Amino acid sequence: MTLLQTLTGPSDLRQLSVEQLGELAQEIREAIITQVSSTGGHLAPNLGVVELTLAMHRVFDFGHDRLLFDVGHQCYPHKLITGRYPLLSKLRTREGMAGFPEPNESRFDLFRVGHAGTGISTAVGMARGDTLNGEGYDPKSNPDGRRVATIIGDASIVNGVAMEGLNGAGVLKRQFLVVLNDNGMSISKPQGAMAQYFDRVRVSHTYTDFKKGAKELLKHVPGGDMLREAYHRMGEMTKAAIAEDSWFEKFGLLTVGPIDGHDLPTLIEFLTEARDMDRPMVLHVKTVKGKGLDIAELDATKFHSPKAFKVERDEVLGCRIEMKSGGRSFTAAFADALVDLMDRDPKAVTATAAMPDGTGVIKAMEKHPERSFDTGICESHAMDMMAGMAKTGLKPFFAVYSTFLQRAFDQAFQEVSLQGLPVRLCLDRAGLVGGDGAVHHGFCDVAILRTLPDAVLTAAIDEPSLQAALEFMRTWEGGLSSVRYPRDDCSERFAHQGCPAFELGKARLLTPEFADLDSARPDAAVLAFGTPAIAAMDAREQLGADYRVAVWDARFAKPVDTGLIRSLLERGIPVLTLEDHSVIGGFGTAVIETAQEMGLDTSRVVRHGIPDHWIMQDSRNRQLAEVGLDAAGIARMIRHAADPARHDRFVPARSEPLAREAHSRA
Query: pLDDT of 440-488, one tens digit each?
Result: 999 999 999 999 999 999 999 999 999 999 999 999 999 999 999 999 9
pLDDT tens-place string over residues 171-187: 999 999 999 998 875 44
For residue 188, what are the CA distances in angstroms to 120, 151, 193, 249? 22, 19, 16, 27
More confident residue, 194 or 23: 23
pLDDT tens-place string over residues 254-283: 888 889 999 999 999 999 999 998 999 999
Residue 201 and residue 305 in contact, taking contact as beta carbons nearer than 8 Å? no
The share of the chain scoring above pLDDT 90, in percent, equals 72
Beta bridge partners of 556: 458
For residue 85, what are the CA distances in angstroms to 20, 26, 204, 656? 18, 15, 40, 20
Question: Does pLDDT of 554 surpass 50?
Answer: yes
Question: Does pLDDT of 664 surpass 50?
Answer: no
**pLDDT bucket at 245, cuts 50 / 70 / 90:** low
Q: What's the order of all strands across the beta sheet hosting 424-428?
A: 372-374, 348-352, 395-401, 424-428, 481-484, 456-459, 556-558
- Please give the pLDDT value at position 299: 80
Question: Does pLDDT of 213 surpass 50?
Answer: no
Interval 580-592 mean pLDDT: 98
Question: Does pLDDT of 379 surpass 90?
Answer: yes
Burial of 5 from C-beta contacts in 10 A (0-12 / 13-18 / 19+): exposed
Domains in the chain (CATH in brackets) are 60-286 (3.40.50.970), 330-484 (3.40.50.970), 508-642 (3.40.50.920)
Give long-range contacts, CB 8 A cutoff, 24+ apart: 360-366: 360/331, 360/332, 360/334, 360/335, 360/399, 360/428, 361/335, 361/399, 362/188, 362/335, 363/335, 363/336, 363/338, 363/339, 364/335, 364/338, 364/339
Interval 60-69 mean pLDDT: 96
- Please give the pLDDT value at position 209: 44
Across 112-121, 136-145, 286-295, the highest mean pLDDT is recorded for: 136-145
The share of the chain scoring above pLDDT 70, in percent, equals 86
Enumerate the active-site residues: 289, 379, 407
- Please give the pLDDT value at position 246: 72
Find the helix or strand (DSSP H, E) in which 449 lies: helix 445-449
Find the helix or strand (DSSP H, E) in which 128 lies: helix 119-132
**Rg, C-alpha atoms of the chain:** 27
Rounded distance between C-alpha atoms, residue 295 and residue 303, angstroms? 8
* Residue 139 CB contacts under 8 Å (≥ 6 apart), including other chains: 175, 276, 278
C-alpha angle 555-559-563 in degrees, rounded to nearest 5 = 85
What is the average pLDDT value for the chain, to the nearest integer?
A: 88
Short-list 221, 276, 228, 278, CA closest to 250: 221
Q: Do the strands 148-153 and 424-428 form a parallel or antiparallel pair, or are they unpaired?
A: unpaired
For residue 253, what are the CA distances in angstroms to 149, 205, 234? 13, 18, 16
For residue 182, what are the CA distances in angstroms to 19, 246, 284, 302, 480? 25, 15, 7, 19, 36
Question: Does pLDDT of 629 surpass 80?
Answer: yes
- Please give the pLDDT value at position 348: 98
* Residue 414 CB contacts under 8 Å (≥ 6 apart), including other chains: none
Short-list 101, 281, 333, CA closest to 175: 281
More confident residue, 3 or 217: 3
pLDDT tens-place string over residues 301-321: 788 888 888 876 655 545 556
- Please give the pLDDT value at position 242: 65
- Please give the pLDDT value at position 226: 47
Question: Does pLDDT of 513 surpass 90?
Answer: yes
Beta bridge partners of 577: 527, 607
